[in-house]
Amino acid sequence: MPVNPLKRALREGRAQIGLWSSLSSHYSVEVVAGSGFDFLLLDTEHAPNDLPMVHNQLQAMVGGTAAPVVRPAWNDAVLFKRLLDLGVQNLLVPFVQTADEARRAVAATRYPPAGIRGVSVTTRANRFGRVKDYAKRADEEMCVLVQLETRNALGNLESIAAVDGVDGLFIGPGDLAADFGHLGNSGHPDVRAAIDGAIVRIRKAEKVAGILAPLEADARHWLELGCQFVAVGSDLVLLARQSEALAARFQQR
């Protein structure tokens, strides 16, 4: 049975540092998978990523240091089912606002009677039928992280955290700032205060707190506040900004 190292690390209280991957390329994923990060977030919500491409990226990560986490395009059992059959064990579910939505997300990752996940006896997840007890043990290796991106979600934080099977709650600063009326300004004092307060509440609920923090000072601040699951950058942003900086040095000659 494939074990889930990310879930074990989070349960043991070890901070996991990762990179957002939006380039949707198995080649770039193979490069960064061995860079030393604890996880890579393969994004299918805001990146041109589809199922065969994610499959290739999962293959490219084999042998690297990073555990794969996939963000589906939506809280949709059909999307989940296809990713889980590829062997995905860690999901970051976007735009969860209520406990019912969180329960729906968890149910989509569990086989009956605990959930509604569809059964296939020959998939990449069970090593093409070679893991004989996969169906009995798969649920225990699933890690479900739900994304809080609105004031409504923050208001329901404790009830979402109380849902059995939710391993962690992840703050989405960009969408949260937009919902606060500060589109494009996640550093606004009101947004920062809400994020800090949410992290404290998540920790009090004894769940993993996570966040995307591309600025190092922010990442270190939220790690000190108790975040365990922190994405500290993006492959797309690294490529864009570093290539711009290199071009600019030669344009100034």
State which amino acid sits at residue 106.
Answer: V
Catalytic-role residue among 46, 55, 188, 221: 46
pLDDT of residue 13: 97
pLDDT of residue 253: 65
Reduced 3-state DSSP string for the chain = CCCCHHHHHHHCCCCEEEEEECCCCHHHHHHHHCCCCCEEEEECCCCCCCHHHHHHHHHHHCCCCCEEEEECCCCCHHHHHHHHHCCCCEEEECCCCCHHHHHHHHHCCCCCCCCCCCCCCCCCCCCCCCCCCHHHHHHHHCEEEEEECCHHHHHCHHHHHCCCCEEEEEECHHHHHHHCCCCCCCCCHHHHHHHHHHHHHHHHCCCEEEEECCCHHHHHHHHHHCCCEEEEEEHHHHHHHHHHHHHHHHHCC
pLDDT tens, 11-43? 999 999 999 999 999 999 999 999 999 999 999
Q: Report yes or no: 235 and 20 within 8 Å, Cβ to Cβ.
A: yes
Instruction: Choose among 43, 83, 30, 6: nearest CA to 212.
Output: 43
Instruction: Choose among 201, 203, 160, 210: nearest CA to 39.
Output: 210
Q: For the chain, give the longest Cα–Cα distance.
A: 67
pLDDT of residue 252: 75
Instruction: Choose among 197, 184, 195, 91: nearest CA to 149.
Output: 195
Is the pTM of the predicted complex or chain greater than 0.95? yes
Cis, bond preceding 113 (omega within 30 deg of 0): yes
Is the predicted pLDDT of residue 216 greater than 80, yes or no?
Answer: yes
Known catalytic residue at 46: yes
pLDDT tens, 104-124? 999 999 999 999 999 999 999
pLDDT tens, 58-86? 999 999 999 999 999 999 999 999 999 99
Q: What value does the mean pLDDT take over residues 218-223?
A: 98
Q: Report yes or no: 66 and 37 within 8 Å, Cβ to Cβ.
A: yes
